[in-house]
Structure 1
Amino acid sequence: MHTLNFQSRQEATQSSAVVGEEQRVVFLGPRPGGLVGRDAFLAALQKELDHAPVAPRVRVLCGTGGVGKTSLTVEYGYRSAHRYQVIWRINAERRSSWDAQLGELAKALGISEGGEDARIRVHQYLARMQARWLLILDNVIGSEALDQLIPNAGPGDVLITSQQQTWRAGWAMGVPLLDRATAVDFLLSATADRDARAAGRLADELGLLPLALTQATGFLRSTGWLIGDYLQLLETDRVRLLARATPGGQAVAGAWTAAIERLTKDNPGAVTLLQLLAFLAPDSIPVTQLLPQADALPKGIPHEIARRLRAIASDRFAQAEAVSGLAEYHLVTPLGAGTASIHRLVQAITSDTMTRDEKDAWRHTARLLINAAMPNEPTDIALARGQIALLLPHHEHLLGPEHPDTLAIRHTHARWVGEAGDPATARELLAALLPIHERVLGPEHPETLAIQNNHAGWVGKAGDPATARDLLAANLPIRVRVLGPEHPGTLTGRHNHAYWIGEAGDPTTARDLLAAILPIRVRVLGPEHPGTLAVRHNHAHWIGEAGDPAAARDLLAALLPIRERILGPEHPDTLATRNNYARWVGKAGDPATARDLLAALLPIRERVLGPEHPHTLSTRDPLGHWIGEAGDRRAARDLLAALLPLREHVLGPEHPNTLNTRNALAFWTGEAGDPATARDLLAALLPVRERVLGPEHPDTLATRHRFAWSTGQAGDHTVARDMLAALLPAYERILGPEHPDTLDTHDSLASWTGAAGDPAAARDMFAALLPAHERILGPEHPKTLATSHNLAWSTGRAGDPAAARDMLAALLPAYERILGPEHPDTLDTRDSLAFWTGAAGDPAAARDMFAALLPAYERILGPEHPETRATRDRLASWIKRADQHRG
């Protein structure tokens, strides 16, 4: 075997040996030292060459300057030398040197004599060879080298290195940067320094570029310096340091010189873009976002830079040409969606060629472009979140992470993250930002107070209303002292404090606080200021939650057209008012209209906010509820079952809104005919609500109520009665004795008291409850009708079937008029009327009424619904009784 140790073409020529009719010729140059982290790539390269279907087999190692393309081809030649009869490397960067290098190869092959030029003789020789050969074309620029230097035939392999990336299909193999762990290990193993943290910083500063890492280790070994010393020098004297050659003779500063020179001549717009990108953060640069149309460039950009930018901002094609020109030479890496990244050393070398004034001008330009690209009160919140997230690192790069302007953008970013549907991340972003604000601006600076306020808000929206309330309670007196009691910021703090008091379970206090704030807002800001409208919205909401749904409905009905006129019909706040208006329409007794309002709102929220935005989900949840209340219980159950996984995915399994959906799904599961499953679902939910919200939070009480009700529906009437008897005092103490939810608990307690065997007590409880329902909710509210129904039923059970019949006969027209003739509650009233008609002595009329009722139950609830089966059984019973009575 011939020994490989070739350092020059002269030595290669002298060392050629005859093997049969073919020469064994090798020229590679020195074997690269310190090549690390490339075994997998070299194995993949060998596999590519071994399996390529057409000879000669061509592969192009492409990548940014200094990534180690040449070293990889040389190392491959050394590792695979036993495979090849001829191995020859040609420096293809300059056309003028090709003939001489091919002549040297011809001489080494012993074919230097002949009439043809060296290229033809070499290509003919390689084409006739039986043994495999390897030709390396190093630093190819342009396509001419392909025609001139690659043989048309022969059993060989051609390896090309180039910064260009556009090649024939299947040829290109991108050479990646080193991974960080490998780069750090290389720095530590090549030096006497053991400072892994400093090595990591240096690896990052050098962008994991093998050439730069090799240059650094050579410098450190020759000087005996530590890595920290090199980092300091890199900061203070970068130009001279990067111009220093590696042990192999290359300088980092020269890695991209040829590419930039070619672009300066052929694509000046690309060079303009390169100079802009040199002053931004290296990763995820939103090129399209930063470059508006030529006539929309922000004011203040220096004249000459503005002129050059207009040339690439004039249209999208011009921008694409600039980006593709840089990408062709691996000076930038397009990332899709109008973004690109750039190696930090390309940035450094680009900026280092500028004067101080030129650097200042480009920095100023970059800052103006970033500020102009920032979204301001966007309608597409998710898009705004993404835009700010892309721009923020570049703002930090220019001004520093703690500059007041950077902090303001981080604050805005957190807001749009939350508004886009991620309150937990918004909370964490502001929690991280708050101590920086306190240190940089001071703990009582207005901006710091605003961060505290908004952090509390996202704490609440992420599922912890009690903590939000307490944070705002601590923030409010500082606002009063620093800003004044009627400063808009103080009023906002009072507003938010009141809101989270309500969310934490005290709707009455929230209502009263907002009632006190509203006239101050009107006087200070004006009656139609968005801040005033926000107070009106929440005041209406807490009026409803405190027990007056009709007043809440009417207040929101008056507010909605004002919000539509001032904010626009699709502004998120306008949509929030539409959502709440529908809720209180339903709560005030019109479930069908509430259903229809929400059904119309849902597609708008999906389009404006996105289908998984928390506000969109907050429309789907009540839509399911009011579909059920309007009569389609199975559809309500199915809609909520589909919604629950989305809630868990978007908000988390223990977020209060997720728990609300679990509560509603359990309820409508029971109402759709499976009370035992509803009971079990609520039994699993209750301890979660007690732990997350507290045992006396209104939502926890609501789950206890529904758990008791489902327990009774599942057959255990006495336990249901006792659970409700224990629950009622908590409702009366927390929400008040006449709150609608307290009245509902009274109603349920009376129902299960009767079912547990004491119909007279139930009758008396319903009789005492009915006037409160009529006074608070109105005589035709569905809940008032339900209490009237229950009173009639208990009256019959207590021994007066004729009175029960007459009460139900008077009640049925109201049900048919208010809820509709096929609403389940209307059918239930018809069922009760039929029963007590028979019990009062007319079994034939009862039979006929049940016979007319059964098809409606089968059609609306389904043939196997428990109510349908019960009606079928009652019909059979009354048929039998009517026959006996006639006989």
Structure 2
Amino acid sequence: MSGARTPVRSAERGTARPTVTISFAGFNRAWAAWMGDRLERNGVRVVYLRWDAPPEVSLPRLLRDLMLSEGRVLILVSEWYFQLGPRSHEEWNAALREVVAPDPTRFAAVSVTNAPLPQAVSVLSPANLTNLGADEAERRLFDRLDLPYDPHANGVDGRRGPRFPASMPEVWGGVPRRNTRFTGREPILSDIHHVLQSAEPGAGVVSLHGMSGVGKTQLATEYVYRFGSEYDVVWWVNAEKRVTYRRFLAELAPKLGLQTGQEYGERLRAVRDALRRGEPFSRWLLVLDGADEPEQIWDLVPTGPGHVLITSRNPEWSEHNSRLLEIPVYSRDESVAFVRRRAPRLTETEADQLAEALEDLPLLLDQTAGWLNDSDLSVREYIALLEGGIDSDVVKVSADFPVAFQTAWSILLNKLRETVPESVDLLRLCTFFAPGFIPVRLLRDLPGDELPEQVAGLVNDPLLWNKAINQLRQYSVVRLESHEASLDEAATGDSLYLHRMVHQIVHKDMPEPERTEFIDVVRRALAAADPRRPTDTRLWPTYAEIVPHLKYADVLHTPSAEVQQLVLNCLRYMFLSGEYRAGTKLGQRALEAWRELLGETHPRIWDLTYHYCNLLRANGDYAGSERLNRHATDYLREERGTQDLEHLRAANGLGGDLRGLARYEEALELSQWVLVAYRDQLGDQDSRTLNALNNLAVSLRLLGRYEEALDTDRRTWEARRNLLRARHPWTLTTEFAYALDLRLLGRYTEAESVQARNVDEHRIVMGADNPQTLYAEHNYAMCLYRSGNRDAAGPMFASILERGERVLGEVSPTTLVFATSQSCFIREHGDIDLARELSESVVARYEVARADNHPFLAGARANQALILRNVGEREHAHALLEQALTDMTAALGPTHPWTVGTALNAAALRNLTGDPESAELLSRATVVNATESLGRTHPLTLSTRIAHAADLRNLRDRRQAEKVEQEALSDFESTLGRQHPHTISARSRIRPYWDFEPLLT
């Protein structure tokens, strides 16, 4: 009666093939996939049947239903197979004796576990596959099924099969330990697998979205273990913060065998490129855990032939090429099964009651069932406590949290206090860090004599520390699977993960005396972790780790000078690293808090004002920065005198504010005075003197005095290389400024050479998306464009703008520079409608952010007029250009390069609108002004000369037009070369135009 060799006709081949139905628990899917693949390669037809055991259906009936399957039934034996339900071993023994024993040959079995199993499993005679290599496991599989096999069979298509489950993927990192209590979620796991496997290359991205505590991370972990054998690379990354995401993704580089330097920005680029190309591995899985802010990291999500799995509380991932899967709370059957596995002493009815009371929330079920199993408290008594039998002053933390969660936590905390009270102390300390990954190692680095006795005893006693850690782990309050720590750190609890919900409830439920004591400990720990060198980019990861915790440690309301210095250093780091918006918020809160704490004129107020104003200026709030800096400058001059160093620092900052407000002459005068004062006080080679020299060059550049700016930047660059180092951020800034001066002077080849190297150095030192790096890349793109390499420049303009908008926002002064250049480029070489839309947005933003007479607004309108000209709206373009020319002349005078460029364009529009005489008068004057400002052979001057020749020709003064044109062409060829696009255009008598480019101040 055996059905082991029942022939089944193959529709494809017309031949009989044996059929095997594999019955497996979802937990062991990788084993089932491997076995099925080996069977199919040897001509066996395989049917996969995941074993589900609904509690309402009896085991004998389920086993009889299994016998209806085709061919022989192969049961994959593991503890998971018998735990589904869950049912007792006695129930299983009875069912196996009743159904299997009468016809044992209908079944076959293999075992992949050494765990205790129901005794009656022996009727299945399972072949043991544990602790074997792939070849021996395969031999035993076929032997148990009485099937012949070829160990070298590759199947018909020669495809690569699943990896042997007992072997790991070639690259594996950061994955949390598997939760042996994982329960249910089978449909969701199947959906994830189906979506990823059926996705087109580059689109295999799934986001698991759901409320806190619903088990997204546990689900992702189970997916990795269940399907990991299908991949060559499995890499788990903490994605809660951009900086940690970048760093840990970059750590994949050496695992992939990529040859890179030590800088993680370089490694990150290499990793993303390798994953995109699928070399050296095309089957990769990347898990981004806790990615709650898509706008921070979506651009860094790799594309390519592999798969990406994201866990997030934020549904906005659906807007970033990701399939969103909503993760609900447990179904009641899943809750009951999980509770009984977590707390075996509870009956099925009690587990159901507990699940209902806790609203099927996995995190809460895990924590509560864990301690209930060790408690004498009955479920009925516990539920009575939940319903109001405890103290009535339970704090309601958030409408997002079930009331049951808050009450349950009060009960659990009482349990922890009774057993290991130090675990509650540690837990409360953790809540003065930000939720998520908590670097508790910082606490252990503090000297014991600086700690309160209660905390010192915990931190300095390794046995007590580990006892507290283990108590919190036992009840799933924290976990040790730290993606930021080494295995050794995880083993000693030096970095913990505290769930957001737990963090909030514990923080609220804390006596005031302990709150005061614990927050002081955390503040001191953060201050002790301060590297005290925010200008050193190698230390930025440390500051990136510290900054998120400042808010929770309430560092702004302490008189501690050490903590206040930490705040100042973090503000400096945030300015240098480009965290302008977050830094501005911190600076504003700090100024309000410190004025109240320290007084309006405390020396630290002036330190804070300096850092805060830098951030305000970077965000484009020049008026706000100017008010603060002017107040500081006036007060310090009055109280300490003009030569006081803090007064000079404030005055130097005020110069930057004046430049932002387009008060360039005032800024120049102030820059010159500050430079002299610093030289008198500190000498030529002090870094503060060189900062003042750098700022003088900025003022000169904005005034169009490019040669003087170049000379000043050359001297600053040389001095900074000697005083600091070639890769110091300030040295790179000056090198960039030098290349910018070269380009503005029309020395495009030299500028491109310097800027190419400078961009590479910026990427290495500052990172690819640092604002300073982006601005350096922009100058490089402009160098390429001005040199005639439009094909290379175009994609760079688009990429720089996209990254600038993402990193800095659409209204940032730096982003507006990028948007201006992109609009000008696509006006001539792309989509004119898109150029118009972008240009109009730039004008609108400048109208809001700048005064009506600001030259940036006039320049943006001049660019907009060129677009209007190109789409045929000549009268509108003419009116807009004339307004721009009037405003630019009033702001900067007739000889400024920006005024010269605006006049060049305005003369062209006068011709187009039928006024050639006025056009010629304007173009003649423009040549004179350009020559005076820039010299006879500057590219802009040459363009004005070509335009003047055209205007003379329009007035039929051909002899003079020819003379002017030939002289200009000769100078074009000697300056830019015969094949430069500007030379070719001039030779073809294509009238030149000028694009306004705003400069950062």
Fold shared per TM-score above 0.5: yes
- Compared CA separation, residues 684 and 511, structure 1 to 2 (3 A): same
Q: After superposition, where does 1:306-321 map in structure 2 within 5 Å? A: none
User: 2:937 & 2:441 partners in 1: Cα distance?
Assistant: 60
Residues 678-715 of structure 1, C-alpha deviation per residue, up to 9 Å, x if partnerless?
Answer: 45543443233212223222211111111223333444
Deviation at 1:614, TM superposition (A): 1.4
User: 1:698 & 1:153 partners in 2: Cα distance?
Assistant: 89
Q: Percent identity?
A: 21
Deviation at 1:193, TM superposition (A): 7.7
In the alignment, which residue of structure 1 is the partner of 2:974?
Answer: 817
* Candidates 856, 861, 877, aligned match of 1:704: 861
Quick check: 2:448–2:460 contact (8 Å CA) kept in 1? no
Quick check: 2:679–2:689 contact (8 Å CA) kept in 1? yes
Give the counterpart letter for 1:466 in structure 2. A
Residues 608-654 of structure 1, C-alpha deviation per residue, up to 9 Å, x if partnerless?
Answer: 22222211221222322232222234543432223222222111122
* Candidates 388, 397, 406, aligned match of 1:190: 388
- Compared CA separation, residues 799 and 418, structure 1 to 2 (3 A): same
Give the counterpart letter for 1:285 in structure 2. I
Deviation at 1:464, TM superposition (A): 2.1
Q: Which shifted more, 362-371 or 556-565? A: 362-371
Q: After superposition, where does 1:375-386 map in structure 2 within 5 Å? A: 375-377=531-533, 378-380=536-538, 382-386=540-544
Q: After superposition, where does 1:827-838 map in structure 2 within 5 Å? A: 827-832=984-989
Give the counterpart letter for 1:502 in structure 2. R
User: 1:771 & 1:703 partners in 2: Cα distance?
Assistant: 24
User: 1:819 & 1:324 partners in 2: Cα distance?
Assistant: 73
Quick check: 1:418–1:425 contact (8 Å CA) kept in 2? no
In the alignment, which residue of structure 2 is the partner of 1:597?
Answer: 754
- Compared CA separation, residues 47 and 630, structure 1 to 2 (3 A): farther
* Candidates 407, 417, 435, aligned match of 1:253: 417
In structure 2, stretches of 5+ residues that fail to align are: 1-51, 63-74, 99-112, 123-175, 184-217, 219-337, 343-361, 368-382, 486-494, 992-1001
User: 2:919 & 2:526 partners in 1: Cα distance?
Assistant: 70
Q: After superposition, where does 1:411-430 map in structure 2 within 5 Å? A: 411-430=568-587
Quick check: 1:498–1:513 contact (8 Å CA) kept in 2? yes
User: 1:439 & 1:49 partners in 2: Cα distance?
Assistant: 72
User: 1:128 & 1:46 partners in 2: Cα distance?
Assistant: 16
User: 1:799 & 1:686 partners in 2: Cα distance?
Assistant: 38
Q: After superposition, where does 1:279-298 map in structure 2 within 5 Å? A: 281=433, 283=435, 284-287=437-440
In the alignment, which residue of structure 2 is the partner of 1:453?
Answer: 610
Q: After superposition, where does 1:20-59 map in structure 2 within 5 Å? A: 54=77, 57=80
Q: After superposition, where does 1:297-336 map in structure 2 within 5 Å? A: 332-334=478-480, 335-336=482-483
Deviation at 1:165, TM superposition (A): 8.2
User: 1:427 & 1:168 partners in 2: Cα distance?
Assistant: 46
Q: Highest CA radius of gyration, 1 or 2?
A: 1
User: 2:386 & 2:837 partners in 1: Cα distance?
Assistant: 61
In the alignment, which residue of structure 1 is the partner of 2:153?
Answer: none
- Compared CA separation, residues 404 and 774, structure 1 to 2 (3 A): same
User: 1:504 & 1:597 partners in 2: Cα distance?
Assistant: 30
Q: Which shifted more, 493-502 or 591-600? A: 591-600
Deviation at 1:403, TM superposition (A): 4.2
Deviation at 1:409, TM superposition (A): 2.2
In the alignment, which residue of structure 1 is the partner of 2:684?
Answer: 527
Deviation at 1:832, TM superposition (A): 3.0
In the alignment, which residue of structure 1 is the partner of 2:662?
Answer: 505
Quick check: 2:386–2:407 contact (8 Å CA) kept in 1? no
Deviation at 1:662, TM superposition (A): 2.0
Give the counterpart letter for 1:213 in structure 2. S
Give the counterpart letter for 2:439 in structure 1. P
| Local SS of the residue matching 2:858 | helix
| Local SS of the residue matching 2:537 | coil
In the alignment, which residue of structure 1 is the partner of 2:357?
Answer: none
| Local SS of the residue matching 2:935 | coil
- Compared CA separation, residues 306 and 703, structure 1 to 2 (3 A): same
Residues 407-426 of structure 1, C-alpha deviation per residue, up to 9 Å, x if partnerless?
Answer: 43233323323322221111
Give the counterpart letter for 1:601 in structure 2. N
User: 1:739 & 1:727 partners in 2: Cα distance?
Assistant: 14
In the alignment, which residue of structure 2 is the partner of 1:214?
Answer: 411
Give the counterpart letter for 1:190 in structure 2. G
In the alignment, which residue of structure 1 is the partner of 2:674?
Answer: 517
| Local SS of the residue matching 2:989 | helix
Q: Does 1:770 align with 2:931?
A: no
Q: After superposition, where does 1:601-620 map in structure 2 within 5 Å? A: 601-620=758-777
Residues 172-192 of structure 1, C-alpha deviation per residue, up to 9 Å, x if partnerless?
Answer: 968624799xxxx99895159
| Local SS of the residue matching 2:479 | strand
Quick check: 2:420–2:471 contact (8 Å CA) kept in 1? no
- Compared CA separation, residues 153 and 324, structure 1 to 2 (3 A): farther
* Candidates 377, 383, 389, aligned match of 2:547: 389
Residues 801-836 of structure 1, C-alpha deviation per residue, up to 9 Å, x if partnerless?
Answer: 233233323332321221122211100222239x9x
User: 2:58 & 2:773 partners in 1: Cα distance?
Assistant: 54
Quick check: 2:973–2:983 contact (8 Å CA) kept in 1? yes
Give the counterpart letter for 1:669 in structure 2. I
In the alignment, which residue of structure 2 is the partner of 1:337?
Answer: 484
In the alignment, which residue of structure 1 is the partner of 2:313?
Answer: none
In the alignment, which residue of structure 1 is the partner of 2:738?
Answer: 581
In the alignment, which residue of structure 1 is the partner of 2:782?
Answer: 625
Quick check: 2:557–2:594 contact (8 Å CA) kept in 1? no
Deviation at 1:326, TM superposition (A): 8.2
Q: Does 1:469 align with 2:615?
A: no
Give the counterpart letter for 1:389 in structure 2. V
In structure 1, stretches of 5+ residues that fail to align are: 1-42, 62-79, 87-122, 133-145, 156-163, 217-241, 243-250, 261-270, 313-318, 836-887
Deviation at 1:396, TM superposition (A): 5.4
User: 1:288 & 1:49 partners in 2: Cα distance?
Assistant: 52
Q: After superposition, where does 1:525-674 map in structure 2 within 5 Å? A: 525-633=682-790, 635-672=792-829
Residues 321-350 of structure 1, C-alpha deviation per residue, up to 9 Å, x if partnerless?
Answer: 9989985785752232023146899999xx
* Candidates 900, 905, 911, aligned match of 1:743: 900
User: 1:298 & 1:48 partners in 2: Cα distance?
Assistant: 62
User: 2:898 & 2:542 partners in 1: Cα distance?
Assistant: 41
Q: Does 1:803 align with 2:960?
A: yes
Deviation at 1:501, TM superposition (A): 1.0
Deviation at 1:519, TM superposition (A): 0.8
Deviation at 1:716, TM superposition (A): 4.7
> Structure 1 or 2: larger helix share?
1
Deviation at 1:542, TM superposition (A): 0.9
Deviation at 1:367, TM superposition (A): 7.5
- Compared CA separation, residues 752 and 492, structure 1 to 2 (3 A): same
- Compared CA separation, residues 713 and 633, structure 1 to 2 (3 A): farther
Quick check: 1:49–1:57 contact (8 Å CA) kept in 2? no
Q: Does 1:373 align with 2:529?
A: yes
Give the counterpart letter for 2:484 in structure 1. A
| Local SS of the residue matching 1:565 | helix
| Local SS of the residue matching 1:527 | coil
Give the counterpart letter for 2:609 in structure 1. Q
Q: Which shifted more, 425-434 or 750-759? A: 750-759
Quick check: 2:836–2:864 contact (8 Å CA) kept in 1? yes
Query: TM-score, length-normalised on structure 1?
Result: 0.62
Residues 111-159 of structure 1, C-alpha deviation per residue, up to 9 Å, x if partnerless?
Answer: xxxxxxxxxxxx8998457799xxxxxxxxxxxxx9998754579xxxx
User: 1:666 & 1:311 partners in 2: Cα distance?
Assistant: 64
Quick check: 1:396–1:406 contact (8 Å CA) kept in 2? no
Q: After superposition, where does 1:215-230 map in structure 2 within 5 Å? A: none
Residues 91-126 of structure 1, C-alpha deviation per residue, up to 9 Å, x if partnerless?
Answer: xxxxxxxxxxxxxxxxxxxxxxxxxxxxxxxx8998
- Compared CA separation, residues 446 and 569, structure 1 to 2 (3 A): same
User: 2:391 & 2:718 partners in 1: Cα distance?
Assistant: 71
